[in-house]
Every structure is written in structure tokens, then in C-alpha cells.
Amino acid sequence: MLNIIFYFQVHQPYRLRHYNVLDIGQGTPMFDDKLNSEVMKKVAQKCYLPTNALLLKLIKEHEGRFKVAFSITGTAIEQFKLYSPETLDSFKALVDTGCVEILGETYYHSLAFMYDSNEFLDQVHMHRDLMMKEFSYHTETFRNTELIYQDRLSDLIFEIEGFKTILTEGVDRILQWRSPLYSYKNYSKRINLLLKYYQLADDIAFRFSNRDWPEYPLTVNKFVSWIDKLTLNETKGRNQFLNLFMDYETFGEHQWAESGIFDFMRHFPGEVLKNDHLGFAHPKDATSLSNYQQESISFPEAVSWADEERDLSAWLENDMQRNAIETLYELLEKIKAKGDEKLLPLARMLSTSDHFYYMCSKYFQDGDVHKYFSPYDSPDQAYIYFINALAEMEEKLLR
Amino acid sequence: MKVLMFTWEFPPLISGGLGMACYGMVKALLNLGIKIDLVLPTREMVYFPLREVSDVDTLPVVFIDKGEQSKFEKLRFSNDSERLEYIGISDSPESYIQLTSVQRYSISLKKEYWLSERMSGEERDVWREMTNHLVGDEDLIHKVQEFTLRAEKIAKLLEFDLIHAHDWLCYPAGMLARKISTKPLVVHIHATEFDRAGGPGDERVHKIEHAGMTYADKVIAVSQYTAQMIMSRYRIDTAKIRIVHNAFTVPEDAVFSKERIFKGPVILFLGRITLQKGPDYFLEMAQKVLASHPDARFIMAGTGDMSRKILRSSASLKLKNRFLFTGFLNRKQVERILRASDIYVLPSVSEPFGISPLEAMAYGITSVISKQSGVAEVVNHAFKIDFWEVDLWVDTINHLIENPEKNIKMGIDGMHEVNKIQWDEAAIKIRQLYSATLAEYIRRQE
């Protein structure tokens, strides 16, 4: 049996205003409420609401056989409440079907794991509480920001929070001869790992509307036939997992409605379920479905799902990114030491990984992707506003 | 006396010290009863007939084209800035001129003037130097060409006694106006290509500068430092050169009281972020000062071709949020940043004058300035250091941070001193120069 595991990332950052030195101490808001509201409303109209409606319909049609998982950040939930409460309601309706798994992550979609383990665990815990509060859902599976993972993370997540499964990227240099279609154990054999099958996931997420792609247009039949082929190599009856992880904004936002992405999704589950040996599963099902001795796999270096490199270079490569993030975590520590409850959430909003992504200056084709997502003219601008915001917070702490 | 004046900058069309200097100078000259027809690189073909002192702020406009002028006269504007916008003036001098006809321009220059029989061999060489080097595909060169074309029309249209052109961008215009009118030309050196480039710079600009100074009847240098440069690098006849130091007049709506943004000491760099101004020395100072005073903040105010390099270096030096960039600031924003600063530094590699330290001093901020600057010749209550002596700059800044009462006293003394450096005095010197030039001209005519 091959189990298709859909996991969709739902995230919106708090974008910073073009925050200048002369704004410091003036009481000017640091975050661009207007832009954040516009983006949320736009994405809700183009993606969240129509896709949620479609998924709800599919789940009902297939009577429990179609399943998906979501990871929804705390900053997204907060902004739903501020700018698009109907979106939050539609997610709740989906969760209520019982066919949706909610994953755990950091509340602020941060890189805290790389800089401050205590802050990381705080944010993971905050997120878990939020999921319980909003969806009455106890998360069992963890995915770190941008699927960032290394061995050390599994220890923290297992020992402190008791998660049973972690999702990450199926990076070739780690997998080597192994297939991402099987579940694995982490290096210490205590927790399950599910690895993204990036070729097929990215066919939907990145290539779907690309007319230069030889396989364009991607039809449901073609895609299901590719999936079907994957089962041919498995002759011992082991359960396989096809992990299709992607940004939820793929639907209607990154791939526009005109590209046919919604039609694709509308017909995909039915076509899959025509085959007895194909089905859908939740990430948490991997524990019971792994009907074989899982191999242990070690990730000594951090990986992620971003860019060609699938490492941390999208956020932590250049000097601007490093100086910015180090200064932020120093400030977070000072704020905690002083016990300033007002500044803490603001500083944490600055810990969202997007801020560092905007500062990325890689000049390869991935740079284009970064530019597409950035509200600023250049990485330098993003850096200047961020550093100014940190100066503002520090002055506030002194005041 | 009526002067036809060409300048590339004049408020609100301003990007640096040139605009501020022209403003103060013109205002003081008007006060002495001198009439000025001002020509700027505006989008529309206009000039500004300035007669009253208040005209420097209102900028009355006349279109060169009569049809355009009558059209303009029928228009009603709700305020001055709307009117100035109509003729193509806003905050950034680089965005105005559209290239019209480069070819027509150079042909007209060559045929009508350069090849005219009235030209002596020596004169022809200077013209050739100018026209041959006023070529290139850069936007700026195109703008200068267009501006020069405009000068031709204006010189034919207007009556004036004397021409005054500021910096190389306006030298071709000034030269052409002199050629057409035969009236004497004064060129004013606010900076040479050697200063701006912090090295040899662009060959074409040198040649145009040399041609302009050679063709001019008189050359005004903004400092002894600059006069020395003109003599040694351009071999200009010493007898033609006069030194008139710049001054600084405080705007009437200025607010001087301190308004801190930061708790810790604030050290300010204010100017173009370009090699000439020594921004890399500022960064090095910041790194060293922050090692002993981690609560200080260094603010880099302005933009320039080295912005990105300095920004990236400040990040790689891990200066945290202690080294900040403001980007471009307008006049009111400059005032706010001055009111928030404690120490002003000008580590220029080569600074013909440098008005901005005077401005900082007017706000009671202690100034530490490069010895390689003209402004060092006119102020006493400021620290003067060779730009390359970074450790000395660092010691000075540390000393001022550690002795705030000394810093305050130095600032106040500097403020008193700057208040005495007035444009009226400079304008009197310029008037004397005008008179002498005119007297020589009349003698030559007889």
C-alpha cells in the first residue's frame, strides 16, 4: 500500500514597516498593519477560503478516505483573527471532520532551534497550547520551520515535548541510496521520520504552471500514473509513504486559479482512490503503518526544504542575516532577563524566519523566489529596517 | 549689476553642499542689490529672475518660450511647491532633464562658435578641449549637454553684465554664454574631480574643468586647500584665482534644542556615502569606539555609491544594531538627526570646503573634521585630524564620550563661532571680485 501524505504549510509573517532611524522612539508602529492586512485578505480570497472549501467538499465526498495535514503558525492564526476571521472558522470546520491532522511547530515560524534551545522549546509549547485552544487538537507530529532538521532537534522534540514523528526534507545527500518512500527512525531510534518526496511535491508546488517544463500541463492521470509506478519496486508488502509537503499558498496564490490547480486538486483524490493499493494517510499514522524494521538515519548537518541547496543558506548565509539574527537573540535574552512582557511578543514577531529570508542575497535563480516574497526593494533595505526595529526595541527596554 | 548664474543645485533642487552654498550666497548677493538670473537643470526651459532677497525662497519663474510663458501665466497654483513641480523641480537633482538633441547640440557648438573666424588659436584649443570631452552615453553627460544647449538660448535672450558658473557641470554653459555675449565669466570651484573621485577620476571631467577655468576671467575657490589644488593639478594662472570661503546661514525655522532618540552617545556621519567623504574610516572608527563604548550608536546619514559596501561591512564586523543607516534625508529630517546627535565627524579624504560641519556646529554638536578640508581653515572650535589617523579619531571620540561636559562646552563654543561665519561677508568679497572683473572687462573693451 502506498499512502499519500499531504501536508500543507499555512504561514503569514508580520511584515515590518519601512522603519527608519527617525521612527525610533516616535511611537510609530514597527509592523506594516496595512500591508499585513492586505496580504492576508488577498491570500484568504485567492487561496485559503476557496481551497478550504474544496478540501471540505472532497473530505465529505470520500467519506474519510481523503486525509490531509496542516501546520498553521501562531502568527497566521493571530492575523486570521485580526484580518480574516472567516478563514480561521473554515480551518476549524476542516479539523472538525476528523480527516485533518494538525502538526506542531514553533509559534513564530522561527529559527530559534539554531540559536536558543530554550526559546525554541518555549515557542513549540506556545504553539501546542494554541492548537489546543483553537482546534482542541493535541499535536503528535512535529515539523520545524521550513522543514529544518538535524539530529539534535529530534532529542529536544522527543524528550521535552514527546512528539512521535518529525517531518523533514528528503535530501539526496543524506538519503543517498535510500528511498524517501519509507519511514525511518532518527539517529537515536526514538522517533519516526517522514521525508518529503521533493520531485513530485515540487511538480505541484513549483512547476505546475511552468510552460517551459516538458511535462506541462500536469494532468491528474499523468500524476497518478507516476505515483502508481512508485509502487512497482515494493515487492515485500511494506507500506510506502509518499510525502507531498508544500506551502498551502501553492493553491491559488503561487499557482493561480487560472493555471487549473484547483481542478487538479478536485479530481486528484478520486483518481487515486480508484486504485486499491493507493490511499491517503496522516503523518501520525506512520507509527502504526510502518510494518517493517525502520532504518535509522542520521542528519549531522541541518537541512531544510528551501532552494537548491536544501540547507540554511536562505536565512543564514550572508553577514547581514547573521548579524541581524545574533542581535535579535541577544535582545530576546535581555528582554527575558528583565521580564518585559510587553516587548517579548514583539521581539518574537521579529524572530519569524521570513525577516531573514528577505535579507538573502544569493544571486542564483533562487534569488528570484526570494524577491517575489519580499516586501522590500533589496536585501539591504530589509536589513536596515530590521536593525532599526531592533534598535527601537533596545531603546524601549532602556526607557 | 546683473549676473547670469548657472548652477546644478538650488533648494529645493538639492542633493549636497553645492545647493546650500548657492542658496546662502545668492541670498546675500541679492541683499547687496545685485540682480541674478538663475538657471537650473529644470525639466522645463525656464530661468529665475531673482531681484528681492525673498525671491530665493519663492523662486519666480520665466519661461524662455513666449508661448509657454503665456500658458504658464494663466495657470493658478495653490502653493509654491505646486508651481515648482510644474516646471520640474523636486527633491532629487538627478531626475529632471530629458535628453533632447545631443547631435544638434554638438553640431551647433562646433559650427557656430568653435569654427567661427573670430576665435584665436588659443581659444580654439580650449573649446576643443571642452567639446571633445563633453561626450558620452551617461545620463549625466546628456544632461550637461542639454543644459548647455539651454544656455545658448538664454545668453541670446537676456541682458546681463557678468556670468557666474558653479562647478564643472555648468562650465560648458558658462563658456557658451561668454562666447555669445562676450561678457566676463567667473567660475566657482566647489569641488574638483580629484576631490569627488578621491583619486584621478574621469578624464573628461578634468578636461572640462580645465577648459572652464582656463576660459574664465576669474576663478573662485572655496578654500586655500582648493586654490592649492587648482594651481598644482590644473596649472591655472594664480592671478585669476580668488578664495572665498563658504559660510552657513541658519534657516529661519530651525529648531536647535536637543531631542534625543538614543540614550547612549550618538556619533553622526552626514553626507554622501562615497570615497571622498571617508565612510570606510567612519566604519573603522565605529568598530574601535564600540569596543570600549558598546552603548554608543553610529549613524550614517545619506546615500551614495558606497552605501552597500559599508552596510555589508558593518554587518560582517558584527556591529549589531549600533551602526545605523538613515538613507536619504530631507532638510527637516537632517535637522532631526542633528538634534539627536552628540558628535559629528567628517573624515573626508579630500574636502574642498564642507558646509555640513558648520551646520552641525550651528546645532551645538562637537565636530571632528579632516585636516584635508577647506572648512578646517575657518573654524577653531573643532577637532582637526588627518583623515588617515584612525586611532587619533578614535581617541578623540572616546575622550568626548568619556567627558560629556567637555563635549557640551566644545559644542557651545563651536556654535558661537559658526554664528559669526556669515554669507554677508562672503558676498562682499564676491561683489568686489565682480567689480574688479567688470572693470578689467571694460578696460579690455576700450
Residues in chain B with CB shorter than 8 Å from the CB of A396 are none
Nearest neighbour of A320 by CB, restricted to B262, B312, B329: B312
Name every chain B residue with its beta carbon within 8 A of the beta carbon of A24: 261-262
Please tell me which residue of chain B has the smallest CA distance to A378.
B308
Region A22-49 average pLDDT: 96
Query: Is A294 contained in some domain?
Result: no
Task: Kindly give the confidence (pLDDT) of every residue in chain B, 446 residues in length, as a single tens digit, with 9 standing for 90 and above.
Answer: 999 999 988 887 766 778 889 999 999 999 999 999 999 988 888 999 999 999 998 899 999 989 999 999 998 888 887 888 888 775 444 322 222 333 344 445 555 555 555 667 777 787 777 777 776 666 777 778 788 888 989 999 999 999 999 998 899 999 999 988 999 999 999 999 888 877 777 888 888 899 999 999 999 999 999 999 999 999 999 999 999 999 988 878 899 999 999 999 999 999 889 888 999 999 999 999 999 999 999 999 998 889 999 999 999 999 999 999 999 888 889 999 999 999 999 999 999 999 999 999 999 999 999 999 999 999 999 999 999 999 999 999 999 999 999 999 999 999 999 999 999 999 999 999 999 999 999 998 88
Q: Looking at residues A373-393, what average pLDDT do you find?
A: 92
Contacts of A327 in chain B (CB under 8 A): 320-321
What's residue A374's pLDDT?
A: 79
Same domain, A166 and A258: yes
Residue A46 lies in a domain: yes
Judged by CB atoms closer than 8 Å, whether chains meet at A326 and B337 is answered as no
Q: Are residues A221 and A324 in the same domain?
A: no
Report the pLDDT averaged over residues A21-47.
96
Q: Looking at beta carbons, which residues of chain A come within 8 Å of B329?
A: 22
Q: B261–A25: do the CB atoms touch at under 8 Å?
A: yes
Q: What would the 3-class secondary structure string for A190-237 be?
A: CCEEEEECHHHHHHHHCCCCCCCCCCCCCCHHHHHHHHHHHCCCCCCC
* Annotated active-site residue in A101, A119, A146, A253: A146
Rounded to a whole number of angstroms, the distance from the CA of B180 to the nearest CA of chain A is 47
Query: Is residue B298 a contact partner of residue B324, using CB atoms and an 8 Å limit?
Result: yes
Residues A178, A94 share a domain: yes
Domain contains A134: yes
What CATH number is associated with residue A215? Answer: 3.20.110.20
Residue A299 lies in a domain: no
Predicted ipTM beyond 0.85: yes
Sign (positive/negative) of CA torsion A253, A256, A261, A265? positive
Nearest CB to A21; choose among B308, B315, B326 = B326
Nearest CA in chain A to B333: A22
Chain A residues touching residue B263 (CB < 8 angstroms): 395, 398-399
Per residue in A344-360, pLDDT (tens digit) is 999 999 999 999 999 99
So what's the pLDDT on residue B279?
97
Same domain for A119 and A27, yes or no, is: yes
In this structure, is residue A297 part of a structural domain? no
Provide, as residue numbers in chain A, all residues whose Cβ is less than 8 Å from the Cβ of B308. 380
- The answer on A69 and A149 residing in a single domain is yes
A323 touches B: beta carbon within 8 Å: yes
Kindly state the average pLDDT of the residues A73-77. Answer: 98
Chain B residues with CB under 8 Å of A326 CB are 318, 320
Question: Measured between beta carbons, which residues in chain A are less than 8 angstroms from residue B299?
Answer: 21
Contact B311 A380 (CB under 8 A): yes
Residues of B with Cβ-Cβ distance to A394 under 8 angstroms: 321
CB B220 within 8 A of CB B430: yes
Mean pLDDT, chain A, whole residue set: 95
The Cα–Cα gap between A218 and A216 comes to 5
* Minimum Cα–Cα distance from A399: chain B residue: B263
Average the pLDDT over A193-214 and give the result.
96
Q: Answer yes or no: do B326 and A20 touch at CB < 8 A.
A: yes
Smallest CA–CA distance, residue B285 to chain A, in Å, is 19
What CA–CA distances, in Å, run from A109 to A72, A197, A387? 9, 22, 19
The helix (H) or strand (E) run that includes residue B175 is helix B167-181
Are B33 and B111 contacting, i.e. CB atoms less than 8 angstroms apart?
A: no
Contact A320 B261 (CB under 8 A): no
Domain count, chain A: 2
* Residues of B contacting chain A (CB within 8 angstroms): 261-263, 297, 299, 301, 307-308, 311-312, 314-316, 318-321, 324-327, 329, 333, 336-337
Domain co-membership, A129 together with A265: yes
In a mutational test of the B interface, the residue from A22, A329, A386 whose CB has the highest number of chain B CBs within 10 Å is: A22
| Min Cα–Cα distance to chain B from A266, Å | 48
Residues A218 and A120 in one domain: yes
How close A355 gets to chain B, by Cα (Å)? 15
Residue A365: its pLDDT value, please? 45
A194 belongs to a structural domain: yes
Å between A25 CA and nearest CA of chain B: 6
Q: Chain A residue with minimal CA distance to B323?
A: A387
Name the pTM for this structure: 0.88
The domains of chain B, with CATH numbers, are 2-247+425-445 (3.40.50.2000), 266-420 (3.40.50.2000)
pLDDT at B98: 26
Mean pLDDT is lowest, of A14-23, A179-188, B191-200, for B191-200
Q: Is A326 on the interface with B (CB under 8 A)?
A: yes
- For residues A94 and A208, state if they share a domain: yes
Contact criterion met (CB < 8 Å) for A323 and B262: no
Q: Are A282 and A321 in a shared domain?
A: no
Q: Note whether residue A301 is domain-resident.
A: no
Residues A202 and A273 in one domain: yes
> How far is the alpha carbon of B272 from chain A, nearest alpha carbon, in Å?
17
Instruction: Give the domain-ending residue among A289, A321, A354.
Output: A289
A21, A326, A398 ranked by CB distance to B324: nearest: A21
Bridge partners of B266, per DSSP, are B297
Residue whose C-alpha is closest to residue B52's, from B34, B30, B32, B37: B30
Number of residues written out for chain B: 446
Q: Mark whether A319 and A285 lie in a shared domain.
A: no
**Mutation site for A-interface testing, chosen from B260, B290, B316, B320 by largest number of A Cβ within 10 Å:** B320
Range of A41's domain?
Answer: 2-289
Residue A305 within any structural domain of the chain: no
Verify that A28 and A63 share a domain, yes or no: yes
Q: What is the DSSP letter of B381?
A: S
- Interface contact B321-A25, CB threshold 8 A: no
**Could you confirm whether A341 is annotated as catalytic?**
no
